[in-house]
Amino acid sequence: MRRLLLATLFATLFATLFAAISACAQAALPEPIARLAAEKGIPENAIGAVVLRGDEVLVSHEATRTFTPASIMKLFTTMVGLDVLGPQFRGRTELRTTGEVAGGVLHGDLVLRGGADGDFTADAFTHMLEKLRTKGIRRIEGNLVLDRQLWQPARADAGAPPFDESPEAYYNLIPDALLLNMNLQTLDITSDAKSIKASVLPELDNVRVRSELTLVDRDCAKWEDGWKIPEYVRNGPNLTVVLKGTFPRNCSRTNVINVLDRTDYAERLFRATWERLGGQFSGQAVEASEAQSRAFNSGSSTLLAEHVSRSLPEMVRDTNKLSDNGLARTIFLSLGSLQADPLLGSRPLPDLADAPAAQPQCCAMMDAPPRMPTQVRAELEIRTWLRGQGVDDTGMVFENGSGLSRIERFTPNQMAGLLRVAQTSLWAPEFLTSLPIAAIDGTMRRRLKESPAAMRARIKTGSLKNVVAIAGYVPDASGRQCIVVVMVNHERAGNGNGRALADGVIDWVARSAAPQAANEVPSAR
């Protein structure tokens, strides 16, 4: 009996030791991935990775080191946004006035008041102006006042250095609280053997496009190789967008650019649209001061028309599926505009929700001390949320919440912590639905088509120069959901190298299965 007990004890100790050794081995970078990293010339210490199956750690490699995350940073912004702002949160744009309407004339300024509306397109603006016409307003005797004061600074883009060599590109757009049509123009460029034609939409008052592109013999698919940042030239009341660089012969392409100053853009779009609707306007566009914005918030202004964005879950879906930097930054700054300011106490905001019962209440804004920058307030909101969920925020660095940054950083463990919290959140379905599906849609639509992860893994991607990252959920071969985080920071991460490593980890998880328990009887097949 004693011998049996000793044998059982030794067997148990051996099993425990073996399990511990196996756990340590599994926690290292998987051998196929380590071999692939060596082939790509990427040192293992440039790779951070975590794979969790429930409470079991399958991979934990450089998991406590901070890495530049690129766009997987959006997962912090969107998950905290869903939980703090709530699924009914909607941005709102308003047309207001402190003047009076009499005889078809608005005697006073028309105020265009921004409220973090990521859906405020040219069409939405047209519909708002149509509402003014249905109210009988045909002439405006005042200025168009652009109120961007919900966020501080109101124009974070003004004077900001370009992130890279393409400041005109949509992905580089820096949002403000009143971002009309994302300040974008859509260029259609067509060439034949000898000439180039260029047109632009939307129609803006006294804004034209002129091509100074040089025709070259090049594959049309490589038209961007000769593209240069367009300029715009002011000549009295006229603005001309000048296209620079080269363009292939016999080619047709569409490009979206952010070039014009935002005040110019809003005024020119307003004039063109209002005139097309039969209206008259003799004023000019001016930016609202903080004092003016406080007056509009005080209740002394009259609401004339409004536009409300889609609900937050819909915006989150576009943010993560398409990795939209502008929407991510809008959600991030919205977090900063809806929390109490430590310097002022509870500070009020415009009505930003659809249902009146869910709208935050507005109060007057104080003159002093200066308001804390909205970006700082947003960071405080996220850190407070993380700590409340038991996720350590030590070492994390925030800048804009989109990952379009060289300074934002966090560890693989911190991202894994967020993903664990998200699994049990009230808004887990909305969050999960926002993630790209491998081989199906979003930024994962062309990846892992031959892997068992196809159609099953939900993964947010991220990429910058020298940075590749992924984070999300991958069912293993047994169907158990695993949390997967991979971050590669190295000069050789480009040219598909970092992506191969990240996809390799996803595929490895999808093909793996939990070891069968010793007392488990295999099922008949």
Q: Domain limits of the chain?
A: 25-81+383-511, 92-308
> What pLDDT, on a 0 to 100 scale, did the predictor assign at position 516?
58
Contact 44, 65 (CB under 8 A): no
Say yes or no to pLDDT of 2 above 90: no
Q: How far apart are CA 281 and CA 271, in angstroms?
A: 7
Tell me what the mean pLDDT of segment 470-494 comes to: 98
Tell me what the mean pLDDT of segment 432-443 comes to: 98
Tell me what the mean pLDDT of segment 148-156 comes to: 96
Contact 206, 239 (CB under 8 A): yes
- Name residue 399's amino acid: E
Find where tokens 């109060």 sit. Answer: 363
166-224 pLDDT tens trace: 999 999 999 999 999 999 999 999 999 999 999 999 999 999 999 999 999 999 999 99
Q: How far apart are CA 274 and CA 268, in angstroms?
A: 10
Residues 6+ apart with CB under 8 A from 38: none
Tell me what the mean pLDDT of segment 483-507 comes to: 98
Tell me what the mean pLDDT of segment 439-468 comes to: 98
Three-class DSSP category at 24: helix
Q: Is domain 25-81+383-511 annotated with CATH 3.40.190.10?
A: no
Which whole-number Å values give the CA distances from 319 to 73, 74, 85, 328, 353, in the listed order? 11, 8, 15, 6, 19
Nearest to 74 by CA among 358, 355, 318, 302: 318
Say yes or no to pLDDT of 398 above 90: yes
Nearest to 149 by CA among 176, 124, 109, 110: 176
How confident is residue 25, by pLDDT bands cut at 50, 70 and 90?
Answer: very low
Tell me what the mean pLDDT of segment 428-453 comes to: 98
> What pLDDT, on a 0 to 100 scale, did the predictor assign at position 279?
97
Burial of 333 per CB tally in 10 Å (0-12, 13-18, 19+): buried
100-129 pLDDT tens trace: 999 999 999 999 999 999 999 999 999 999
Taking only Cα atoms into account, the Rg of the chain, rounded to an integer number of angstroms, comes to 27
> Quick one: which H or E segment has residue 199?
strand 196-201
Tell me what the mean pLDDT of segment 20-29 comes to: 54
Burial of 320 per CB tally in 10 Å (0-12, 13-18, 19+): buried
| Summary mean pLDDT of the chain | 89
Q: How far apart are CA 129 and CA 124, in angstroms?
A: 9
Q: How far apart are CA 296 and CA 303, in angstroms?
A: 10
Contact 286, 145 (CB under 8 A): yes
Say yes or no to pLDDT of 18 above 90: no
How confident is residue 370, by pLDDT bands cut at 50, 70 and 90?
Answer: low
CA angle 409, 385, 152 (to 5 degrees): 70
In the 8-state DSSP scheme, what is residue 449? T
> Quick one: which H or E segment has residue 209?
strand 207-211
Q: How far apart are CA 28 and CA 34, in angstroms?
A: 9
> What pLDDT, on a 0 to 100 scale, did the predictor assign at position 17?
34
Contact 50, 415 (CB under 8 A): yes
Tell me what the mean pLDDT of segment 345-364 comes to: 34
Say yes or no to pLDDT of 396 above 80: yes
> What pLDDT, on a 0 to 100 scale, did the predictor assign at position 21?
33
Which whole-number Å values give the CA distances from 391 to 333, 354, 417, in the listed order? 21, 31, 6
Q: How far apart are CA 413 and CA 66, in angstroms?
A: 9
Say yes or no to pLDDT of 473 above 80: yes
- Across 404-424, b (16+ Cβ under 10 Å) vs e yields bbeebbbbbbbbbbbbbbbee
How confident is residue 491, by pLDDT bands cut at 50, 70 and 90?
Answer: very high
319-346 pLDDT tens trace: 999 999 999 999 999 999 975 444 433 3
